[in-house]
Structures are given as C-alpha cells and as structure tokens.
C-alpha cells in the first residue's frame, strides 16, 4: 500500500476551497459600485428631505404673512391718528403714495393684551413696506406716535420682488390707492369692500389672495 502524506492532501483541499486574487478584486469592485450607488441614493433622499423642509418652512411663512394681513384688514378701526408733528390727522386706512416707501398704513382694533399690561389700548397703528426683497410689518406701541419714535419691525417674507395692493370701492372698481383719487377724502370714502394682495416671489412667482373687508 503506497504511503500518502496527509498534510499535502489537506493543503490541496484548502487551496481548492479558497479565492483567487482576481476573484477578490472583482468582488471588491462589485461592492464598491453597490456602495457608491447606495450613497448616491442616500444623498438624493437627504437632498429631497432638505428641499421639502425648506419649502414647508417657506409655505408656513407665506401663510402667516397672509394671516396677519387678513387679520389687520378684518379688524379695521375708524380711528384717525395725528402725524409725527402732532397736527394733521392721518386716515384710518392710508395707501396713496404720500408715505415714502410705505405701501400701506392702517388702524386696527382687537389688539390682544394677554399680559394685561397697563396703559395699553386695543388699537394698533400698523404699516407694511417692502425693503429690497423683504416684506416688513411694523407697528407702534401707541396710536399717536411722535417724531423720532421708531416702529417695531418684523420680517415676514424674503425673496419678494413686488408687493402690491388693490382696493375694491363701492362702485365695484379696483383702485390702486386709498382713499380713491376721485374722492380725495377719507371721510367721504368708506372702507374698501375687498382687498387684493399681490406678491411676486422669486421662487414661486405670482401669489394672489382676495380678502373681504368687514363693513
């Protein structure tokens, strides 16, 4: 009976069961491609999530701006105010171009006072303006503010190309200013029946909203 070396047979079986260098390189290449594809898909999901979050935040800000303007118009109060010099009276709703850089100035009621602060009424003088591409809402802590008293400002929206307001008069005609030019008197002109808000946004284009004004 011929002699067989058990160690040599075991080495032959282990050599047959192993992987060659070429097979390892191919396997590593496949895993690298799969990993790159998975990473690209993950990055795409992360990017889409970030974009969706930014768009939701943008929508939330737009809805809040519209809600504030809607509340201001629905709470219009017939209260004239003195100007900065304390002489002439400003109309409760003024949007006729005399206020440089100001699109609208109005008197609103129902200003909440949850803290119960003393010496503070429920009327509020509010104005809106467009500063570069930012829509700003401002108000004064008192109705008849004096010269040099700066309003408190809040940035509502950014990326605004245009902010425009149209006012529906009693003749069902849209006016670009208020009081209407043909009357020239805030006393003779009631509050508008409706207000059309027009915003031209850099990312979403033109956005409009029609508000009915309580009479």
Determine what percent of the chain is predicted with pLDDT higher than 70: 82
- Residue, of 149 and 60, whose pLDDT is higher: 60
CA–CA separation, 120 vs 111, rounded Å?
Answer: 10
CA–CA separation, 157 vs 66, rounded Å?
Answer: 10
CA–CA separation, 82 vs 88, rounded Å?
Answer: 6
Domain ranges of the chain: 9-62
pLDDT tens profile 66-100: 999 999 999 998 888 887 766 667 888 998 876 77
Neighbours of 158 (CB within 10 A): 14
CA–CA separation, 87 vs 82, rounded Å?
Answer: 6
pLDDT tens profile 152-181: 999 999 999 999 999 999 888 999 999 887
């Amino acid at each position: 009976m011929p002699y067989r070396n058990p160690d040599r047979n075991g080495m032959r079986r282990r050599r047959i069961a192993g992987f060659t260098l070429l097979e390892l390189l191919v396997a590593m290449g496949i895993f690298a491609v799969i990993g790159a594809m998975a990473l690209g898909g993950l990055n795409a999901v992360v990017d889409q999530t970030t974009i969706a979050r930014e768009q939701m935040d943008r929508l939330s800000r737009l809805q809040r701006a519209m809600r504030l303007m809607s509340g201001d118009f629905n709470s219009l109060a017939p209260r004239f105010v003195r100007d900065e010099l304390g002489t002439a009276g400003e109309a409760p709703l003024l949007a006729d171009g005399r206020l440089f850089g100001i699109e609208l100035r109005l008197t609103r009621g129902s200003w909440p006072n949850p803290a119960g602060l003393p010496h503070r009424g429920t009327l509020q003088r509010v104005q809106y303006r467009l500063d570069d591409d930012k829509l700003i809402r401002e108000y004064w802590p008192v109705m008849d503010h004096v010269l040099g008293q700066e309003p408190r400002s809040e940035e509502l929206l950014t990326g605004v190309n245009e902010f425009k307001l149209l006012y529906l008069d009693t003749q069902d005609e849209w006016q670009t200013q208020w009081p209407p030019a043909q009357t020239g008197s805030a006393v003779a002109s009631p509050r508008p029946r409706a207000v059309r808000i027009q915003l031209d946004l850099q990312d979403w284009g033109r956005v409009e909203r029609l508000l009915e004004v309580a009479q």
